[in-house]
Amino acid sequence: MTQVVPIVLVTGINGFLGSHTVEALLAHGYRVRGTHQSSHDPHCLFRNRPSWKGKVEMFHIPDHRVPNAYDEVIQGVDYVIHVATEVHSNGETSGIDPHHTLAVSIKGTENALNAAFKEPKVKRFVYVSSDAALKGPKNFNGDGHVFTEKDWNPLSLQDAQASNDEGLNYTVCKKLGEQTVQKFHATHKPHFQVIALNPPLILGPVFHLESVKQLSFSAWFFWQLMNGRYEIAPKTEIFNYVDVRDLAEAEVLSLTADTKEPRVIVCAGDLSNDKIVNTLIPQFPQFQEKIAKPNGQPSTCNYKIDASLSKSALGVQYRPHEETFYDAAESLYRLAGFF
């Protein structure tokens, strides 16, 4: 008797995390169906990953805020991983309209949930949130606070609407998007389980793009430390990270993990600009003139993040930072044509 292979819907398949999510799902033997916003995205992905052909279905959804946007693509799906979202613009492109970002975070998530509610086969809905939903743009809890899954940043929709700060707006968007999932589950009591994953800055190898000019914030941030922009690494302002491949693995494990946890932090550890450049300098001696020199400043981080639940509830195993940084840098140098 032929075994039926489960189908996983990945929204935002064309992004940094979405593309790695597909890799992880295929490695675990799932069939994959993905959504993308731009009509040219599948061509780039299939060029860079020819092994996907015949294994990954692509559906073009130009605007996932439109009612019933996911109704067709979700038919026959067993699991949903909702990755599609708006992310920080990088430092070389114009900022994203916060009203648009809020609408995508809330309405797009509602549409995905409503579609899953109509498909009786769906067993679990995984929502990719952020540690921004825990702590906001800064630590509001005082020195030494340890953030866990019980924490929520205190900022509101009104705070976002009154601010032009993209970072602040992003943290509110992630909070409201995740709370949309929780409210839906509490109100509708769906036939499927829901779980949110809360990662910090996502780093790792890039393969879904054709140019470093297309980098989203996390990869762009990393690229600035190794492309000759800085002689000395700037002051650290981002204090935690996760490897994109470990996060993708956490998504896959979340589909069938024997847990009812509604929320799990996925974080590999602490981060500093000096930690990055001190790792890269001996790894890429041929690019030492491009990699920023360490600034020697002690960390100003006044909090910790407890990611122990990701290990106990999901079984996540985090790779060493040296591997993450090397693979990220190698892929970016290659994308920039330096190899």
φ, ψ at 186 (rounded to 5°)? -70, -35
Burial of residue 204, with CB atoms counted within 10 A of its CB: 0-12 exposed, 13-18 middle, 19 or more buried? buried
Q: What is the pLDDT of residue 91?
A: 53
Decide if pLDDT at 170 tops 90.
no
Question: Mind listing the pLDDT tens digit for each residue in 122-161?
Answer: 999 999 999 999 999 989 999 999 999 999 999 988 888 7
CA angle in degrees (0–180, nearest 5) for 241-42-251: 35
Q: How many CB atoms lie under 10 A from the CB of residue 57?
A: 16
In this prediction, residue 88 has a pLDDT band, given cuts at 50, 70 and 90, of: low
- pLDDT in the model for residue 63: 85
* Domains of the chain and any CATH numbers: 7-204+241-267+304-318 (3.40.50.720)
* Residue 86 pLDDT exceeds 70: no
Cα–Cα distance for residue pair 84/76, rounded to 1 Å? 20
pLDDT tens for 180-206 read 999 999 999 999 999 999 999 999 999
**Mean predicted confidence (pLDDT) in 212-230:** 95
Paired sense of beta strands 269-270 and 240-243, if any: antiparallel
* Mean pLDDT confidence for 301-313: 97
Cite the beta strand spans of 165-227 per DSSP E: 193-198, 201-203
Exposed, middle or buried by CB within 10 Å (0-12, 13-18, 19+), for 112?
A: buried
Q: Which range scores top for mean pLDDT: 104-108, 156-160, 205-209, 307-311?
A: 307-311
Phi, psi at 9, each rounded to 5°: -90, 125
Question: Cα separations (Å) of 298 from 145, 198, 271, 276?
Answer: 19, 26, 12, 14
CA gap 131, 147 in Å, rounded? 9
Q: SS in 3 state form for 80-108?
A: EEECCCCCCCCCCCCCCCHHHHHHHHHHH
Q: Are 337 and 291 in contact (CB under 8 A)?
A: no
> Tokens 């054709």 map to which residue?
210
pLDDT at 4 over 90: no
**Alpha carbons 137 and 167: distance in angstroms, whole number:** 6
Q: How confident is the model at residue 62 (pLDDT cuts 50, 70, 90)?
A: confident
Mean pLDDT, all residues of the chain: 92
Share of the chain above pLDDT 70, in %: 93
The pTM of the full predicted model, rounded to 2 decimals, is: 0.95
Q: Is the pLDDT of residue 98 over 60?
A: no
Per-residue pLDDT at 64: 83
* pLDDT(10) > 90: yes
Which pLDDT belongs to residue 231?
Answer: 97
Please state which of the ranges 92-96, 112-116, 303-307 shows the lowest mean pLDDT: 92-96
Residues 240-277 have pLDDT tens digits of: 999 999 999 999 999 999 999 999 999 999 999 999 99
Q: Are 241 and 202 in contact (CB under 8 A)?
A: yes
The pLDDT tens digits for 30-51 are 999 999 987 666 777 888 888 9
For the stretch 70-76, contacts whose Cβ atoms lie closer than 8 Å and that sit 24 or more positions apart, written own/partner, are 70/9, 70/11, 70/35, 70/111, 70/112, 70/114, 70/115, 70/116, 71/115, 71/118, 73/9, 73/33, 73/35, 73/115, 74/9, 74/115, 74/116, 74/118, 74/119, 74/122, 75/119, 76/7, 76/119, 76/121
